[in-house]
Amino acid sequence: MKFLILNGPNLNLLGSREPGIYGANTYEGLCRRLESFAAAHGSAAACVQSNHEGAIIDAIHAAQGVYDAIVMNPGAFTHYSYAILDALKAVDVPCIEVHISNVHKREEFRHKSVTAAACVGQICGLGLYGYEAAMGYFLAQRGNPPAQT
Ligand code: DQA
């Protein structure tokens, strides 16, 4: 499978940004980890990160016909970007929304996702493993379940 791993604003600062919430691993480390996970399952993962809403929308549009699935952490756009919601609805590429932290244990404004309605599902609170869990779901759907660890 070909995965697009799409991360939104401030996720480029993983490792230094609020490590008590998001952990000590860097964004680059996350990308290498997901590329390895994909390769171990006969797949490929391309990592894209942007702090700009329009660039994220462009990446979703460009995924059509190129990627089999999107794993997206829209960052704070999760909570208010109807434009990203519409972009997901406009393409035929399934998406799972991932949040590193458990947004439901945090401020009230993080409890609402406007983008999840266009996704297959949402994973939150599992740390970086959530990205692999989302990829594993898509692999299982394709009859290629991830190896048990
Ligand atoms: C986040 C949660 C969002 O509320 C926040 O704005 C982020 C990261 C997460 O991964 O837990 O930037 O999406």
111 is catalytic: no
Instruction: Please pick, among 41, 67, 99, 131, the residue that the annotation labels catalytic.
Output: 99
pTM of the model: 0.95
Q: What is the model's pLDDT at position 148?
A: 56
Q: Tell me, in angstroms, the distance from the centre of ligand 1 to residue 57's CA.
A: 18
Q: What is the model's pLDDT at position 144?
A: 60
Q: Which residue minimizes the CA distance to atom 9 of ligand 1?
A: 99
Backbone angles phi, psi at 5, to 5 degrees: -100, 110
Name the CATH topology of 2-141. Answer: Rossmann fold (3.40.50)
The two tokens of residue 121 are 């599902």
14-23 average pLDDT score: 96
Cα separation of 82 and 148, whole Å? 37
Q: Indicate whether 84 pLDDT > 80.
A: yes
Closest-lying ligand 1 atom to the alpha carbon of residue 125: 11
